[in-house]
Amino acid sequence: MTSLIGRLHEGESKRHSLHLILDQHKAEVARLSSACQEALGLESQVEQLSKDLAGMVTHERYLSVCGDLEAALKREQELKSSLSRHGKALRQMQTKLQQEGQSAKTKNAALFVLEKVSKNYFCTTLKLDVALSVIHAHHTHTCTHTCTHTHTHTHLYTNRN
């Protein structure tokens, strides 16, 4: 019986130690299961980061795009400057054209007045010539000469205009 009790005790000790080992393995499995879940979460994050990274540009490409943008900005500033210069020149030309237009209006008005004065002068001169020819005709007493003389002077002055 002692041997039976010894064996029973030994069996009980083994069972207890197996229980402890089983509890340790269960704890290890729970820890491994938790680590596996964490690994799956990390794997999902890695996949998402890989997708995000695929959509990103490399540092070299970023620098290249920055250079292109700086060059485009410089061209835009040059174009704005050129447009400004051309706009200023256009405004100066408009001002000059307006001044010349006003000067031309003044010249046209002066020419109109001059033309009026010259027509009046011509008419007065013609009337004087006609009057002189009438006086001359009466003075010479020849009607034919008067009509021819008057007609000749009228014709000469009319051709001047």
Higher pLDDT, 71 or 54: 71
**What is the DSSP code (8-state) at residue 142?**
-
Q: Do the domain assignments include residue 40?
A: yes
157's tokens: 């002055």
Q: Cα separation of 27 and 84, whole Å?
A: 80
Q: Do the domain assignments include residue 72?
A: no
pLDDT digits (tens, 9 = 90+) for 88-109: 888 888 888 788 777 777 777 7
Q: Do the Cβ atoms of 139 and 149 come closer than 8 Å?
A: no
pLDDT at 139: 52
* Residue 145, pLDDT above cutoff 50: no
| Site of tokens 């690994």 | 39
The H-assigned helical ranges of the chain are 2-55, 59-140, 143-160
pLDDT at 140: 52
Q: Do the domain assignments include residue 1?
A: yes
pLDDT digits (tens, 9 = 90+) for 130-144: 766 666 655 554 444
* Residue 5, pLDDT above cutoff 60: yes
19's tokens: 């229980």
| Site of tokens 């005790």 | 9
**What is the DSSP code (8-state) at residue 1?**
-
pLDDT at 86: 86
Q: Do the domain assignments include residue 23?
A: yes
The tally of domains found in the chain comes to 1
Q: Do the domain assignments include residue 34?
A: yes
pLDDT at 157: 43
Q: Cα separation of 127 and 135, whole Å?
A: 12
128's tokens: 């004087």
Q: Do the domain assignments include residue 4?
A: yes
Which residue range forms the structural domain that includes residue 15? 1-56
Q: Cα separation of 153 and 156, whole Å?
A: 5
pLDDT at 44: 92
pLDDT digits (tens, 9 = 90+) for 11-69: 899 999 999 999 999 999 999 999 999 999 999 999 999 888 888 888 898 899 899 99
Q: Do the domain assignments include residue 49?
A: yes
91's tokens: 């405004």
pTM of the model: 0.37
Residue 103 CB-half CA count within 13 A:
6
Q: Do the domain assignments include residue 35?
A: yes
* Residue 148, pLDDT above cutoff 60: no
pLDDT at 137: 59
